[in-house]
Amino acid sequence: MKPIDETLHGFVVYNKKNSKKIPYAVVGETYECQALTRNIPKIAKDFIVPIEDKRFYSHNGIDVRAILRSVYKNVIAGRIVEGGSTISQQLARNLIRNNSKTFSRKLREIYKAVQLEYKLSKDEILDEYFNNVYFGGNLRGLRTASLNYFAKEPNRLNTSELLYLLTLLRGPNYYLASRELALNRYRHLNKILLEKKTISRKQYTKALQKKILIKNKVLFSIKSIVANHIIENIDRNTNSITSTIDITLQNHISQFVKKSKYPVSVIAIRKGKVVGVSSSYGSDYPFVSKTNVGSTLKPFIYYFARQNGIALDNLYNAQTNNLDWNVREVSYANRQLDLKGALLNSNNNAFVNIAEELGIENVLSYLATLFNQTKDNFLPSSILGATKSGISLFELSSTYDHFFSSKGDMYKSECTELLNKIFISKTGLRVSNVLLKTGTTNNNKERIAVLRAAETTFALLRNENEVDDLTKEGGFVQNIINFIIPILKRSKDYRWR
């Protein structure tokens, strides 16, 4: 696996749909979504000062007059109607990530605000403020809010859209829950800007007439390891990534994962690029989680056997093996099987005997080379899919994708034909160029499938509820059918037999 670039925090990931780029996710290591930018529009800064902190440019982080005024108004009202916090204090609060109403927290906030004023210029404080301020849900920063609610970068917002985002700042979840309350505050902020002569009467009238449509796309956070594997282009000037993700395919994968009864993970590779990924355990799971992969390694052993002179009419004991390993079989098999029969039946004993004839160490060296790993990760038990440190879904799907992408190899053609027969026999779908190999591990609690439809390779991992589903297939084949049929219906690159 290539080294992970850890400098992508705050980068926005865009997906391409035709010639249009659509904001998809933000790179971050937590659930919180924070898109960073060095290009805060000047108009945002011009608006925020009269709205939130009119003496911003003259105080040192604490506005004593504002605090006394807020105390007076709160006492008169009998409730908190004004906070008195400066922009520097609000930034400090967002950096501290503590909204508790305690005296000690307030002291920390004040101390932090003064520190910020000492270290940063006023313009830098505004930049930091707009990169860290809370906008509801899991969203932080003006850029995040702009992309989430309007699907636009901040510099493309019109005046009304920008002001509507500033409307949310006093209580994002409160105002998002009531459009009427949000519009009332929006009108109030327009009036403040008019009175402060920040906007003209014409702009004020136009803003009140403007219809504002919120999209609320719901951006989410993806970890750096995922971002690194879906980069097609990267622009460090704008902190933006254009991804390799296929939007239609990604939507299907996401819905499949969301609707699954059991925890499930899926990754899709096309021509060496990740075009879709999702998991019940987080989108990084297919990259970082490693497991034994069961019988999904057998097609590679079949190919290695053919490359090394094992003929199709050679027969191997399918009920016992020469290494005296006690292995389980899926179902009854003939006493002897040839190489094709061993793969079609996924017979463990036959493959142990084939590997023993080839030389166990030779087979392990081949698998290590194929997966671009050191040989010490492959043990004799790797013949049946168990490795020292496991194999990730990304590694498995990438290896299948690369292996079956090359054309003109007669032994790979044999392998392709056999995996298509497995797909047809298991699913009942008579499609001529879809490949399938399944595998089970961890006492049938983990089920793995590798599918290849046209030029896209999919790896699926389903984790099971061990109480009510311990059968070999456990309904997994139906999951595979449910997953692949919508893809086949959309694709022009498959053929029914």
Per-residue pLDDT of 102-118, as tens digits, reads 777 778 888 898 999 99
Q: Order of strands across the sheet with 20-27? A: 220-222, 20-27, 12-17, 240-246, 231-235
Can you give the pLDDT at residue 143?
97
What is the DSSP code string of 274-337?
Answer: EEEEEETT-TTHHHH-EE--GGGGHHHHHHHHHHTT--TT--EESS--TT------SS---SEE
Do the Cβ atoms of 243 and 24 come closer than 8 Å? yes
Whole-model pTM: value is 0.88
For the chain, give percent helix, strand, coil, nearest 5: 50, 15, 35
* Least confident stretch, 398-407, 436-445, 462-471: 462-471
| DSSP-derived pairing of the beta strands 316-317 and 336-337 | antiparallel
| DSSP-derived pairing of the beta strands 139-140 and 33-34 | parallel
Can you give the pLDDT at residue 445?
81
For residue 255, which phi and psi values (nearest 5 degrees)? -65, -40
Closest C-alpha among 381, 387, 394, 380 to residue 457: 394
| DSSP-derived pairing of the beta strands 240-246 and 139-140 | unpaired
Can you give the pLDDT at residue 84?
55
Percent of the chain with pLDDT over 70: 91
Calculate the CA dihedral of residues 441, 443, 444, 447 and round it to 10 degrees. Answer: -20
> d(Cα 182, Cα 164) in Å, to the nearest integer?
8
pLDDT at residue 80 above 50?
A: no
Residue 79 pLDDT class (50, 70, 90 cuts): very low
How is residue 11 annotated by DSSP? P
pLDDT at residue 447 above 80?
A: yes
For residue 43, which phi and psi values (nearest 5 degrees)? -65, -30
H or E segment to which residue 17 belongs: strand 12-17
Cα angle vertex 149, ends 145, 154, to 5°?
50
Do the Cβ atoms of 321 and 329 come closer than 8 Å? no
Can you give the pLDDT at residue 467?
52
Can you give the pLDDT at residue 290?
94
> d(Cα 442, Cα 473) in Å, to the nearest integer?
13
How is residue 217 annotated by DSSP? -
Domains of the chain from N-terminus onward:
42-137+158-209 (1.10.3810.10), 296-382 (3.40.710.10)
Residue 362 pLDDT class (50, 70, 90 cuts): very high
Do the Cβ atoms of 167 and 145 come closer than 8 Å? no
Calculate the CA dihedral of residues 50, 55, 56, 58 and round it to 10 degrees. Answer: 150
Helix H segments across 53-158? 64-77, 87-96, 103-119, 122-132, 142-150
The pLDDT tens digits for 410-427 are 999 999 999 999 999 999
What are the b/e assignments for 71-85, b being 16+ CB within 10 Å? eeeeeeeeeeeeebb
Residue 72 pLDDT class (50, 70, 90 cuts): very low
For CA atoms 138, 142, 143, 147, the dihedral sign is: positive
**Secondary structure E strands in 359-482:** 391-392, 434-441, 446-453, 456-463
Cα angle vertex 338, ends 334, 340, to 5°?
110
H or E segment to which residue 14 belongs: strand 12-17
| Coil vs helix vs strand at 417 | helix
Do the Cβ atoms of 266 and 371 come closer than 8 Å? no
pLDDT at residue 82 above 60?
A: no
pLDDT at residue 178 above 50?
A: yes
Can you give the pLDDT at residue 493?
63
Do the Cβ atoms of 98 and 85 come closer than 8 Å? no
pLDDT at residue 90 above 70?
A: yes
Mean pLDDT of 457-470: 76
Residue 489 pLDDT class (50, 70, 90 cuts): confident
